[in-house]
């Protein structure tokens, strides 16, 4: 099984790195994890909606180029559907039963994802009604993917 995280921007918060490394290690038992960082655009100080759309389009083109073929695409989107941890685990399991062996999760940058990236996704979901930085979402998402594997393998999971 392949899990791909396509993320906009590099990890700048050093305090997140140990957690991400820990979940990469834990996930290695269940999948091949690929974290693909694409460069982000600088948001101008006095920006308009058109500026944001242009930045999203540039980042979106880079994202699309990195999506592997024959993968199920999840876009993290503030307007996406929320899931419980068990619901997420069940969804991944059902997709595996349907023959998917590659999943790609797309995390946008500070300005979010372009409409055409969201349209390309097979599923749009939100991890929370709260707002988190796109860097923190990496860690939260990796933890939820790990939790899903533990649930689907009927293994206990307590941090």
76 is in an annotated binding site: yes
CB atoms within 10 A of CB 132: 14
105 is in an annotated binding site: no
130 is in an annotated binding site: yes
Nearest by Cα to 75 from 97, 55, 93, 59: 59
Q: Which residues contact 10 (CB under 8 A, 6 or more apart)?
A: 37
127 is in an annotated binding site: yes
Count of CA atoms in the C-beta half-sphere (13 A) of 24: 12
Q: Estimate to the nearest angstrom the gap between the alpha carbon of 18 and the chain centroid.
A: 18
159 is in an annotated binding site: no
134 is in an annotated binding site: no
Nearest by Cα to 142 from 131, 127, 128: 127
Residues annotated within the binding site are 76, 108, 127-132
**Binding site as annotated, residues for S-adenosyl-L-methionine:** 76, 108, 127-132
């Amino acid at each position: 099984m392949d899990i791909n995280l396509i993320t906009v921007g590099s990890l700048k918060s050093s305090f997140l790195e140990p957690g991400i490394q820990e979940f990469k290690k834990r996930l290695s038992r269940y999948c091949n994890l690929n974290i693909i960082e694409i460069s982000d655009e600088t948001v101008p100080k006095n920006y308009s909606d058109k500026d944001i759309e242009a930045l999203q389009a540039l980042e979106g083109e880079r994202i699309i180029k990195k999506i592997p073929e024959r993968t199920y695409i999840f876009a993290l989107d503030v307007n996406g559907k929320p899931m419980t941890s068990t619901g997420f685990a069940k969804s991944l399991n059902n997709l595996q039963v349907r023959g998917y062996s590659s999943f790609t999760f797309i995390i946008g940058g500070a300005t979010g994802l372009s409409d055409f990236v969201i349209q390309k996704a097979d599923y749009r979901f939100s991890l929370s009604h709260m707002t988190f930085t796109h860097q923190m979402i990496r860690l939260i998402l990796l933890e939820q993917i790990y939790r899903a594997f533990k649930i689907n393998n009927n293994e206990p999971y307590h941090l």
